[in-house]
Structure 1
Amino acid sequence: MATVVDSGGQGTDPARRRLTSIEVLCAVLVLAILGQSWLRAAFDVPALRTASTVFVAVCVQALPFLVLGVLLSGAIAAFVPARVLRRVLPRRQAAAVGVAGLSGVALAGCECASVPVARRLMGQGVAPAAALTFLLAAPAVNPIVLVSTAVAFPGEPGMVAARFAGSLATALVMGWLWIRWGKLEWIAERALRRLPDVEGNGRWRAFAETARADLVDAGGFLVLGALVAAAFGVLVPGEWFSALGDQIVLGVLVMAALAVVLSLCSEADAFVAASLSALPLLPRLVFLVVGPAIDAKLFALQAGTFGRAFALRFAPATFVVAVVCGVGAGLLFLGGAR
């Protein structure tokens, strides 16, 4: 068999290649199907059955919204030029922040996709305050997120209103704070360079690639969140959640920190929050407001896109504002700490 000589002079066999993660996943699923009888007998433990039920329920409920979200995100990235939004933004920055925040209602997208969109806006001359407001609003107040929240919390319309108000307030406040104290030199120069719009057949390629990448990234975080929710339901004693419910301030802080660590997709996080039914609504609302605004993956994306100087200032401020706005929205729409 012929070999290919690489630049270092070593022979490599083209037939030999590394397995991808998708192939490994498919192999594991096939083995699990073939050995399901043995697995059922080996792991016939009530706690594991409960955990698996919670895991499957969270994934099945959230997956349709996740798929719809990444499809819309890919469509926006490919077919909605950033200049369209730039044309409708007022010249006055304070008013532009308000319009950018409300535009998040119509332009759905996950938080991972909103970072490159915000970069494109800046590259086409949109004021950073407006671009950053859109970055925070688009993944948090779009219809997909609101509908998924309503499905996850049936009979609790106040949760939908509170999430919308808290998330929108977070985006607007951060935009106005940037106008007052933000400095352009905090943003890396590469983020301000003009990016070309996608044209012609490349739009469908951009749509497919964006949707695929978002689905892989967000799907992994959904699985992680479902696993954590299942583990919480089995491993964490119910008395701990009761203690958090009795100490509402501690509960809010713990759920805010958990939102940062879990880094869930905004189209799916409501189902994870709903599974933590032992907690009051207020801490779970803060979890839903903080997560799409700032989490571990968003900090990494922001640092890589806009620079570390920006991320180290913007992320902590966003966390504080999101917690305050989430609590305020909860007190207004949920009638306190219930």
Structure 2
Amino acid sequence: MTSEVDRGAREGGAVGGAPPDVPPNEPADGDGPWRIGSVEVLAGLLVLLVVLREPLARALSTPRLQTWTTVFVSVLVQAVPFLVFGVVLSAVIAVFVPRSFWARALPRHPALAVPVASAAGVVLPGCECGSVPIAGSLIRRGVTPAAALAFLLAAPAVNPIVLTATAVAFPGDPEMVVGRAVASLVVAMVMGWLWLRLGRAEWIRLPRRPELDDGSRGRAFWAAVRHDVTHAGGFLVIGAAAAATINVVVPERWLQTLADDPVLSVLALAGLAVLLSLCSEADAFVAASLSQFSLTSRLVFLVVGPMVDLKLIAMQAGVFGRRFALRFAPATLAVAVAVAAATGAVLL
């Protein structure tokens, strides 16, 4: 009777030996040269933190660095829960929702799909951190980019949580809630229609997602969640760090000087919304605290923030590509400022 060893050798492998197709003197998988991975990098950073804990503690005790750390952590704490929510919803859309659903749910004509997708943001509680991966999943599932981008802009600004927070922050000015909802929906629809008119498919470069092709939906779902958390989370950290740096560098007295000029106050709060990178669920309370500015300029702050800020631009560049972000973000900023200022002039 032929032994298992002889039979294994004839089949190209060996029981307990190297796998098939591996040359005799080559290491098998897992026995190759040691490589530095993310776990090793994390372990090295932890060791450095332990070794340098006293110098780091002294450095972080300075007021400016304490301010930087506070802003950085606060942006992350505000954004991460909604990022996770958006990532999970994105994975559900990418793995479990069939393409035929979107064909039935949205009008076939792209121009009509844009306002429907914008209005869909009213029923989804989330912020801009979660809307980016969701928009990417919608495009992958066959939704026209114009409708997906309209949803990306509308959802963080018109969902029930954000509108409720705005009403609480401005108890004596209910028109701020109406103005925010109307202006945000108009901006989302205008940008969707502009994309239909001027946008090009090659500007959007969605990264290849082989994990979504896994035969098991469960494995594909968790692979998509892990990918989006690490990918979008990395850009969120970059944006939060940039926002914290701006908070430390820009003197507060500049804001006082600009508040008295109606035009400059609008531009100043639009720029401040971009730089602060606040979560849309919290920005209304910051806007309410800027009492030296007019209601119109604060409405601009509330409309611009959920659509164009540092962390959002960074995340858009990571999900859709830099060519997209360099075109879409400035155009959105210009449209948002113009529409919000016009809305404020009429309602406020």
TM-score after normalising by structure 1: 0.69
Work out which of the residue numbers 198, 209, 212 in structure 2 matches 1:196: 212
Shift in Å, 1:101: 0.3
- Unaligned 5+ residue runs, structure 1? 1-6
Equivalent runs, 1:80-159 vs 2, <5 Å = 80-81=93-94, 83=99, 84-159=101-176
Q: Distance in 2 between matches of 1:258 and 1:294?
A: 11
Match of 1:266 in 2: 280
* SS of equivalent to 1:288: helix
Match of 2:26 in 1: none
Q: Distance in 2 between matches of 1:194 and 1:100?
A: 27
Shift in Å, 1:141: 1.6
CA RMSD of aligned residues (A): 4.6
Could you tell me which amino acid in structure 1 is paired with residue 85 of structure 2? L
Indicate whether 1:254 and 2:268 are aligned.
Answer: yes
* Distance of aligned partners of 1:119 and 1:67 in 2 relative to their CA distance in 1, 3 Å threshold: closer
Aligned residues of 1:221 and 1:262 also touching (Cα < 8 A): no
* SS of equivalent to 2:157: coil
Instruction: Kindly provide the CA deviation profile for residues 200-222 of structure 1, in whole angstroms up to 9, marking residues without a partner as x.
Output: 25536755775688778768867
Shift in Å, 1:168: 1.1
Match of 2:22 in 1: none
Identity of aligned residues (%): 45
Shift in Å, 1:259: 1.9
Aligned residues of 1:222 and 1:264 also touching (Cα < 8 A): no
Q: Distance in 2 between matches of 1:184 and 1:269?
A: 33
Could you tell me which amino acid in structure 1 is paired with residue 178 of structure 2? A
Shift in Å, 1:63: 9.1
Instruction: Kindly provide the CA deviation profile for residues 276-320 of structure 1, in whole angstroms up to 9, marking residues without a partner as x.
Output: 232222212211211221223333333343344433332221111
Q: Distance in 2 between matches of 1:190 and 1:223?
A: 25
Work out which of the residue numbers 166, 173, 189 in structure 1 matches 2:190: 173
Aligned residues of 1:141 and 1:168 also touching (Cα < 8 A): yes
Structure of greater Rg: 2
Indicate whether 1:326 and 2:344 are aligned.
Answer: no
Could you tell me which amino acid in structure 2 is paired with residue 95 of structure 1? L
Of 182-191 and 88-97, deviating more is 182-191
Match of 1:4 in 2: none
Q: Distance in 2 between matches of 1:323 and 1:182?
A: 20
Match of 1:277 in 2: 291
- Aligned pairs, how many? 311
* SS of equivalent to 1:292: coil
Aligned residues of 1:124 and 1:195 also touching (Cα < 8 A): no
* SS of equivalent to 2:126: coil
